[in-house]
Amino acid sequence: MNKEMLNGLGAIILDASITVHKELGPGLLESAYRVALKRELELKGLMVKSHVAVELVYKDEPLGKAYEIDLLVENEIIIETKATEGIAPVFVAQLITYLKLYSKSLGYLINFNVPLLKDGFKRIVYKF
């Protein structure tokens, strides 16, 4: 998928995230935002998978499921949802790890526990 298409999907993801945040507000559990965002993206016509297993390969040996992606949009974009005080560096590192292991180039870290969603929305690019 080319950069223009990925950026177009990113705009839809941002819009859907704002809609969810306006509807639910801050203060809920991460799982509530994840299922609501999945539904909102589906209502916008996107294919979304949740709880996607990521296998760890160590020295060319598959070791089984090591991680789980919150949402995978159109088999291209990884979304990690959070409901925390802020976006900690470890959350960014987690998303970068998922991008590497799943061979994807674009991800979004979305923290819904903020008064304004723009303060909780972070785009992460890996080998774009």
pTM: 0.92
pLDDT digits (tens, 9 = 90+) for 56-98: 888 999 888 888 999 999 999 999 999 998 888 999 999 999 9
Supply the range of the domain harboring residue 46: 3-125
Are the C-beta atoms of residues 76 and 104 closer than 8 Å to each other?
yes
Which parts of the chain are beta strand (E)? 48-58, 61-73, 77-82, 106-111, 121-125
Residues 6-49: tens digit of each pLDDT: 999 999 999 999 999 999 999 999 999 999 999 999 999 999 99
Q: What is the pLDDT of residue 57?
A: 83
Number of structural domains in the chain: 1
Q: Which residues pair with 110 in a beta bridge?
A: 81, 121
What does the alpha-carbon distance between residue 128 and residue 116 come to, in Å, rounded to a whole number? 28
Q: What is the CATH number of the domain that holds 33?
A: 3.40.1350
- Look at 102 and 38; give whichever has higher pLDDT: 38
CA atoms 11, 71, 45, 118: torsion sign: negative
